[in-house]
Amino acid sequence: MDDKCNKFFPSFSFFNDKFNSGKHIVDIFSDHYSFHPHTLNIKKHMKNLEETTIRASSDPFSSIVVSDANIKNQVATSISHIHFFNKPIVKTLHKATNVTTTEAELFTIRCGINQAVTDLSVKHIVVITNSLHIARKIFDSSTHLYQIHSAAISSELREFFSKGFLNCIKF
């Protein structure tokens, strides 16, 4: 078997032990991430979102990632805003063609997480997205169409979670 591509993409080697049963990010770090779905009571949901945002923005160990993507006229636009304690907001904007909404959303979440984990003081990341069902795919270890994006995000999160037992991410 020609293994030269695995030098560039070791995560996709069938022999990479990160893909063995029991070594998936969901198996090792299940208590480091959580999802807080939208409630049917919109006022309660907005109040919870506001409280979470205020708490995270006033914590020097937290980062807030707000991400969104959409497609109009076959052009996907993804935008993320990343807030670090007492620092200017970082805004990233990307445009692409020939991608699905799911790919654009996962890419946007990945960019936000990538920016958030660069600050070594960050221990908690709060991701605000309107695509919670897509964010759940990050932790889905089964084979699916967006596995390449999930593997890339999982790799970043695995490294982030490994840096400290208190490191966590909330969606």
Look-up: residue for tokens 């109009």? 72
Q: What distance in Å separates the CA atoms of residue 111 and residue 164, rounded to the nearest whole number?
A: 21
Domains and CATH numbers, the chain: 31-170 (3.30.420)
Per-block mean pLDDT, blocks of 10 residues, the chain (171 long): 49 50 71 84 89 91 93 90 90 90 89 90 93 84 76 87 92 92
Predicted TM-score (pTM) of this structure: 0.78
H or E segment and range at residue 46: helix 42-57
CB hemisphere CA count around 32 (13 angstroms) = 22
Round the CA-based radius of gyration of the chain to a whole number and report it: 17
Neighbours of 111 (CB within 10 A): 21
Identify whether the C-beta of residue 109 lies closer than 8 Å to the C-beta of residue 93. no
Per-residue pLDDT, 126: 94
